[in-house]
Amino acid sequence: MKKFLAFAMSLAMVFSLAACNSGGSSASNASEDSTSAAGSSEAGAPAGSSGGDLITVGFAQVGHESDWRTASTNSVQAAFSKDKGFDLQFVDCDNNSAKQLEAVRNFIQQGVDYIVIDPIVSTGWDTVLTEAQSAGIPVIVIDRTIDDSDKYVSWVGSEFTNEGLAAGAWLKAYAEKKGIKEINALVIEGTTGSSAQIGRTNGFKKYADANGWKILDSQSGNFTQDGGQSVMESYCKSYQGKFNVVVCQNDNEAFGAEDAMNAAGVKYGIDGDVVLISFDACKAGLKEVLSGKINADFQCNPLQGPFCADIISKLAAGQTVEKKTYMKEPWYVSEDVLTDISYTNNAGNDVTEPLIHVTQDVVDKAY
Ligand code: AHR
């Protein structure tokens, strides 16, 4: 009961402060919103419902669709180990939104201390978050955003629109440098309705619209290698000889697209006829950048586990936390022809950000 009252107070603080802070998203790579939430468990004495002195945390993970997702799962599991004072219940939701809602409802029924959600899609959340709120269980969101409800205490993740804008800004500068006059792009999108797909699509499209680039087609590859391959196979048939840019919204789709282009005899990468752009910058993706097959890779940082564990530890100790925290995300390129890109980010700020030329050392240090 004490836990419920504390949580209700924390939400009241969140909502009243959020109202004061409405209307501003901040620059990328920085935490935003002074909005904070007071602790939701008894201060300094987190009592796990089933884990003794451990803090019980239920994590509804998206699935296992990509290298990025594996890195994300590893990061959360390492940060919420028993050694660190947590009892983590992990559910792989297999990219199935109904399964994810069910997992969250099961956590509520079990009475875990905290729920962590990486939302497959960005909408359809308000009812279940209201249920968690009524049960006095604070929800922390990681990676993707929930856009139809504010009933979570804190979020840590990526500025996906900035990733798309950065890809557009890089392509514009690269095309100018290389004398590429026309852009005819094919896009392989991520999971439809996920904030990662929505942000990257919108950010890149903004550049396409502003610069008269043609987006010949844009279909979902569901963030998987198989999806990327089958979409690219059909693009190779429908748009043979008509495209010079392929944008894959994650590395695994890019690997699939490479397989399809190899089979169709399409030359891509720094020595090819097609510029290949990707997102995530996992180790396997950066290897492709190093070999010149992927021209540019825009990082989506999956190492959110420690940030999330820190948020929960602070809440358990009755401390305040940020409402939103953005991960730091660098941009990687294959050729050393541009040093940085300048663009107006999603918060409306003009930024200049460095491009990292990928070397073996960069690959070795990647996740
Ligand atoms: O939400 C992050 C995205 O989801 C990553 O780009 C992708 O690899 C993953 O599946």
| Binding site membership of 68 for ligand 1 (Cβ less than 6 Å) | yes
Cα of 138 from ligand 1 centre, angstroms: 24
Instruction: Verify that 295 and 178 share a domain, yes or no.
Output: yes
194 CA: nearest ligand 1 atom? 1
Instruction: Verify that 148 and 169 share a domain, yes or no.
Output: no
Cα of 297 from ligand 1 centre, angstroms: 13
Chain center to CA of 102: 22
Instruction: Verify that 187 and 217 share a domain, yes or no.
Output: yes
Cα of 325 from ligand 1 centre, angstroms: 17
Cα of 226 from ligand 1 centre, angstroms: 15
Cα of 301 from ligand 1 centre, angstroms: 9
What confidence score (pLDDT) does residue 52 get?
A: 61
What confidence score (pLDDT) does residue 259 get?
A: 98
| Binding site membership of 250 for ligand 1 (Cβ less than 6 Å) | yes
Return the biggest CA–CA distance within the chain. 67
| Binding site membership of 223 for ligand 1 (Cβ less than 6 Å) | yes
**Percentage with pLDDT > 70 across the chain:** 86
303 Cβ contact partners less than 8 Å away, ≥ 6 residues apart: 71, 75, 327, 367
CA distances to 47, 139, 169, 273, 341 from 355, in Å? 46, 35, 11, 22, 7
pLDDT tens track for 116-169: 999 999 999 999 999 999 999 999 999 999 999 999 999 999 999 999 999 999
Instruction: Verify that 63 and 187 share a domain, yes or no.
Output: no
Count of CB atoms within 10 A of residue 73's CB? 20
DSSP secondary-structure letter at 121? Answer: S
Instruction: Verify that 94 and 241 share a domain, yes or no.
Output: no
262 Cβ contact partners less than 8 Å away, ≥ 6 residues apart: none
Instruction: Verify that 246 and 145 share a domain, yes or no.
Output: no
Instruction: Verify that 173 and 275 share a domain, yes or no.
Output: yes
The CATH number of whichever domain residue 108 belongs to comes to: 3.40.50.2300
What confidence score (pLDDT) does residue 42 get?
A: 30
Chain-wide mean pLDDT for the chain?
A: 89
Chain center to CA of 123: 15
| Binding site membership of 65 for ligand 1 (Cβ less than 6 Å) | yes
Q: Ligand 1 pocket: which of 61, 67, 68 to mutate (most atoms <8 Å of CB)?
A: 68
Terminal Cα-to-Cα distance of the chain (whole angstroms): 42
Instruction: Verify that 10 and 35 share a domain, yes or no.
Output: yes
300 CA: nearest ligand 1 atom? 6
Q: Does the pLDDT of residue 355 top 60, yes or no?
A: yes
Instruction: With beta carbons less than 8 A apart as the criterion, state whether 27 and 349 touch.
Output: yes
68 CA: nearest ligand 1 atom? 8
What confidence score (pLDDT) does residue 17 get?
A: 29
How confident is the model over 20-36, as a mean pLDDT?
A: 30
Which of the four pLDDT bands, split at 50, 70 and 90, describes residue 252?
very high
- Return the higher-pLDDT residue of 281 and 10: 281
What confidence score (pLDDT) does residue 38 get?
A: 29
In this structure, is the dihedral angle defined by the CA atoms of residues 144, 149, 153 and 159, taken in order, positive or negative?
Answer: positive
| Binding site membership of 327 for ligand 1 (Cβ less than 6 Å) | no
Q: Could you list the residue range(s) of the whole structural domain that residue 223 is in?
A: 160-300+336-365
Cα of 67 from ligand 1 centre, angstroms: 9
Nearest partner of 76 among 308, 366, 301, judged by Cα: 308
pLDDT tens track for 40-97: 333 233 334 444 689 999 999 999 999 999 999 999 999 999 999 999 999 999 999 9
Number of domains in the chain: 2
Instruction: Verify that 104 and 83 share a domain, yes or no.
Output: yes
What confidence score (pLDDT) does residue 294 get?
A: 99
Per mean pLDDT, which range of 44-53, 269-278, 335-344 is the poorest?
Answer: 44-53
What confidence score (pLDDT) does residue 169 get?
A: 98
Instruction: Verify that 192 and 119 share a domain, yes or no.
Output: no
223 Cβ contact partners less than 8 Å away, ≥ 6 residues apart: 65, 66, 190, 191, 194, 196, 249, 250, 252, 253
pLDDT tens track for 307-332: 999 999 999 999 999 999 999 999 99
pLDDT tens track for 177-236: 999 999 999 999 999 999 999 999 999 999 999 999 999 999 999 999 999 999 999 999
Instruction: Verify that 104 and 248 share a domain, yes or no.
Output: no
The pTM assigned to this predicted structure is 0.88
Instruction: Verify that 218 and 353 share a domain, yes or no.
Output: yes
Per mean pLDDT, which range of 42-56, 65-79, 275-289, 348-362 is the poorest?
Answer: 42-56
Cα of 248 from ligand 1 centre, angstroms: 11
- The Cα–Cα gap between 260 and 294 comes to 14
